[in-house]
Structure 1
Amino acid sequence: MKSHASTLLAEVRTFRQNHPDVRYVDLIALDIPGHFYGKRYPIEMLEKVAAGSPLKLPQNAVLLGVQGGLFKIGDYCFNDGDPDANRRLVPGTLKPVSWESQPLGQMLITSDGTEAPIEFEPREVLAKVLERLQHKGIHPVVAFELEFYLFDKKLDNGLPQFARDPLSDDPDDQPNLHIERLSRFGGVLDDMAQTAKDQGIDITVITAEIGPGQFEINFGHLDDGMRAADWAALFCRSTRGVALKHGYRASFMAKPYLQYPGSGMHVHVSLYDGAGNNLLAAHQQQPLRHAVAGCLELLPHCMPIFSPNHNAFRRLGGTVNAATRASWGFEDRDACVRIPESDPRNLRIEHRLASADANPYLVLAAILVGLEHGLETKREPIAPLNEDRSSGTDFPLEMLDAVRAMQHQPVLRDKLGAEFVDVYCENKRQDHLAFQQEINAREYRWFL
């Protein structure tokens, strides 16, 4: 414990030496909907926390809805006295914030690793899955890919406007999947990439996607699944900030335009043993087939995680590479679970179903549980799309159906935690019902 505190204290003191103009640091954590909450600490107080002073925030901050409101979930929020819960600083995450008007720092905090972790905190859910896999001698290597759109900074009556291309205001004149679009938006994209690197994130490939103003960023592969999810979460925060600085609005919304592709979160996962052997490649890749079968079996029950809001369900079955059935295939982007071509050492799955605004900790936890379940049950998967284009099993395409499918699934309750499953499902149900409590102009046009 003393060694841990001394490492944190050294990190804070080094940061102060390198950034003497920073007076405050945002201590942040991801809630259930995938938004950051936290507190802004004076740098002097942060040093005391690093030295061992308690760090407490309300436990129920994790339960916030999409709009920040609290829902009654069991005895939480309204019958529990709104207690504080201990958090800890995450080592290695204290970084400068360059997109704000004043010099700031930021640092991740979490309840995992404390004496009483919050069972439904997303980071804690993933931590328990990773710990269990480690005890079984399974070591995931993970890489995220995130798609997002750039919009004009100003909305038009609440509606997004296309990002202003320096050469044309016509969205149809933006060269999709073309290297030229990377040049046209080079200033903001370069700043996003450099800012992410300043946060310690390994940015690799940048792609201009099909939608106007849509891009994809790939991250490096990591043998630390938690850190990989941290990168995805922190990238979303820094990217939105950098975009505003350049006069744009960056959004990871799943389906901002009906006529253009949605934005996804693609997750590459390979599994290794303690000696560094790829577990999926053993025995003529039979474990790969088992792992795929497990993913596909649990996928219909994980839809509230992969599609966490009403808009995310709009993305499914969309214009490009978004399936409406649980499927798999080799080198097939229409599949939910794609097997990229690779040598046995790098054999992996690419899980393509999650929307870009899903919670990365929970998405990765759900994928790993599917792989784990498949390796345990050793079932054969359905036919790949390469053999049968109609292959696939149905999954819910509406939130309330998805919540019902998730809440009582025994494998998820066991491996993700029953308390988390109950809290998460009720949070999603309440958020969905709250979203419906508004009559829009179209209803009046149709039914008045």
Structure 2
Amino acid sequence: MKSHSSTLLAEVRTFRQNHPDVRYVDLIALDIPGHFYGKRYPVEMLEKVAAGSPLKLPQNAVLLGAQGGLFKIGDYCFNDGDPDANRRLVPGTLKPVSWENQPLGQMLITSDGTEAPIEFEPREVLAKVLERLQHKGIHPVVAFELEFYLFDKKLDNGLPQFARDPLSDDADDQPNLHIERLSRFSEVLDDIAQTANDQGIDITVITAELGPGQFEINFGHLDDGLRAADWAALFCRSTRGVALKHGFRASFMAKPYLQFPGSGMHVHVSLYDGAGNNLLAAHQQQPLRHAVAGCLELLPHCMPIFSPNHNAFRRLGGTVNAATRASWGFEDRDACVRIPESDPHNLRIEHRLASADANPYLVLAAILVGLEHGLDAKREPIAPLNDDRSSGTDFPVEMLDAVRAMQHQPVLRDKLGAEFVDVYCENKRQDHLAFQQEINAREYRWFL
């Protein structure tokens, strides 16, 4: 512990030396809907925390709804006295914030690794899954890909407007995959990539996607699943900030336009043993088939994680590469679970179902539990789409049905934690019901 504190203290002191104009640091963590919460600390107080002073925030901050409100979930929030819970600093995540008006820093905090971790904290849920896999001699290597849209900074009566082409000032309202779009929006995209790199995130490929103003950013592969999910979470925050600085609004909303493709979170996962051998490639790739079968079996029960809100369900069965059933295939982007072409050492699955606004910690945890379940059960998967285009199993396409499918699934309750499953499902149920408590103009047009 002393060595750990000295490492953190050295990190904070080095940061202060390199950024003497920074007076405050945002200490942030991801809640259940995937939003950051936290506190802004004077940098000198951060040094005290790094040296071992306690860091406490309300436990129930993790339970915030999509709009920031608290729901009654069991005894949490209203019958528990709103207790504090210990957090710790995540080493290596103290970085400068360049998109605010004043010099700031930010650093991730978490309850995992403390004396009493919060069972329903997303990062803690993933940490437990990774720890169990490590004890089994399974070491995941993970890479995220995130799609997002750029919009004009100003909304039109609350509705998004197409991003303005910086060169022509015309609306970028034409769907295309042209490389020229990367050039036209190079100033903001370059800043997004550079800012991510400054946060320690390894940005690789940038793609102009099919939707107007839509792009995809790929991250490097990591043998640290927690850090891979950290990257995805931090990238969303920095991208939104950088876009505003350039006069745009960046959004990871799953389906902002009904007529154009939605935005997804694609996750590449390979599994290795302690000697670096790819477990999925052994025995003529039989473990790969078992892992796929496990993913597909649990996928219908994980839909509240992969599609975490009403809008995310609109993306399913969309115009391009969005599956409508639990399916798999080799080099097939219509499948939920795609097997990219690769050599045996790099054999992996690409899980393509999650929406871009899903919680990356929980998405990865759910995928890994599916793979783990498949390797344990050793069942054969259904036919791949390459052999049968109609192959697949149904999954829920509405939130309340999805919550019912998740809440009592025994494997998820065991592998993700029963307390987490109950809390998460009730959070999603209450969020969905709250969303319905508003009558919009269309409802009056139809029924008045």
Deviations 1:344-400 (A, max 9, x none): 000000000000000000000000000000000000000000000000000000000
Partners of 1:142 and 1:177 lie apart in 2 by 26
Residues 255 and 173 of structure 1: CA distance in aligned 2, closer, same or farther (over 3 Å)? closer
Matched, 1:231 2:231: yes
The CA deviation at 1:174 is: 4.2
Partners of 2:144 and 2:168 lie apart in 1 by 32
Deviations 1:131-167 (A, max 9, x none): 0000000000000000000000010000000000124
Partners of 1:185 and 1:24 lie apart in 2 by 32
Partners of 2:188 and 2:294 lie apart in 1 by 40
Partners of 1:177 and 1:126 lie apart in 2 by 35
The CA deviation at 1:62 is: 0.1
Look up the match of 1:121.
Answer: 121
Partners of 1:123 and 1:171 lie apart in 2 by 39
Q: Which moved more, 1:167-176 or 1:300-309?
A: 167-176
Residues 182 and 175 of structure 1: CA distance in aligned 2, closer, same or farther (over 3 Å)? farther
SS for the counterpart of 2:80 is coil
Partners of 2:343 and 2:50 lie apart in 1 by 44
SS for the counterpart of 1:289 is helix
Q: Work out whether residues 165 and 174 of structure 1, in 8 Å CA contact, stay in contact via their aligned partners in 2.
A: no
The CA deviation at 1:177 is: 1.1
Q: Which moved more, 1:142-151 or 1:169-178?
A: 169-178
Identity of paired residues, percent?
96
Partners of 1:20 and 1:169 lie apart in 2 by 39
Q: Work out whether residues 292 and 371 of structure 1, in 8 Å CA contact, stay in contact via their aligned partners in 2.
A: yes
The CA deviation at 1:178 is: 1.1
SS for the counterpart of 2:54 is coil
Deviations 1:253-300 (A, max 9, x none): 000000000000000000000000000000000000000000000000
SS for the counterpart of 2:118 is coil
Residues 89 and 173 of structure 1: CA distance in aligned 2, closer, same or farther (over 3 Å)? closer
Q: Work out whether residues 153 and 249 of structure 1, in 8 Å CA contact, stay in contact via their aligned partners in 2.
A: yes
Deviations 1:191-241 (A, max 9, x none): 000000000000000000000000000000000000000000000000000
The CA deviation at 1:245 is: 0.2
Q: Work out whether residues 163 and 172 of structure 2, in 8 Å CA contact, stay in contact via their aligned partners in 1.
A: no
What are the ranges of 5 or more consecutive residues in structure 2 without an aligned counterpart? none
Partners of 2:166 and 2:216 lie apart in 1 by 20
SS for the counterpart of 2:190 is helix
The CA deviation at 1:168 is: 4.5
Partners of 2:168 and 2:445 lie apart in 1 by 35
Q: Work out whether residues 171 and 212 of structure 1, in 8 Å CA contact, stay in contact via their aligned partners in 2.
A: no
Q: Work out whether residues 174 and 181 of structure 1, in 8 Å CA contact, stay in contact via their aligned partners in 2.
A: no
Partners of 1:136 and 1:19 lie apart in 2 by 43
Q: Work out whether residues 73 and 423 of structure 1, in 8 Å CA contact, stay in contact via their aligned partners in 2.
A: yes
The CA deviation at 1:169 is: 5.5
Residues 171 and 286 of structure 1: CA distance in aligned 2, closer, same or farther (over 3 Å)? farther
Deviations 1:36-86 (A, max 9, x none): 000000000000000000000000000000000000000000000000000
Residues 64 and 137 of structure 1: CA distance in aligned 2, closer, same or farther (over 3 Å)? same
Q: Work out whether residues 153 and 247 of structure 2, in 8 Å CA contact, stay in contact via their aligned partners in 1.
A: yes
Q: Work out whether residues 29 and 108 of structure 2, in 8 Å CA contact, stay in contact via their aligned partners in 1.
A: yes
SS for the counterpart of 2:417 is helix
Partners of 1:168 and 1:42 lie apart in 2 by 44
Partners of 2:173 and 2:363 lie apart in 1 by 35
Q: Work out whether residues 165 and 172 of structure 2, in 8 Å CA contact, stay in contact via their aligned partners in 1.
A: no
Alignment size in residue pairs: 448
Residues 377 and 312 of structure 1: CA distance in aligned 2, closer, same or farther (over 3 Å)? same
Look up the match of 2:38.
Answer: 38
What are the ranges of 5 or more consecutive residues in structure 1 without an aligned counterpart? none
Partners of 1:42 and 1:265 lie apart in 2 by 35
Partners of 1:118 and 1:142 lie apart in 2 by 24
The CA deviation at 1:170 is: 5.3
Q: Work out whether residues 254 and 262 of structure 1, in 8 Å CA contact, stay in contact via their aligned partners in 2.
A: yes
SS for the counterpart of 1:257 is coil
Q: Work out whether residues 99 and 238 of structure 1, in 8 Å CA contact, stay in contact via their aligned partners in 2.
A: yes
Q: Work out whether residues 175 and 211 of structure 2, in 8 Å CA contact, stay in contact via their aligned partners in 1.
A: no
Deviations 1:17-51 (A, max 9, x none): 00000000000000000000000000000000000
Partners of 1:436 and 1:5 lie apart in 2 by 47
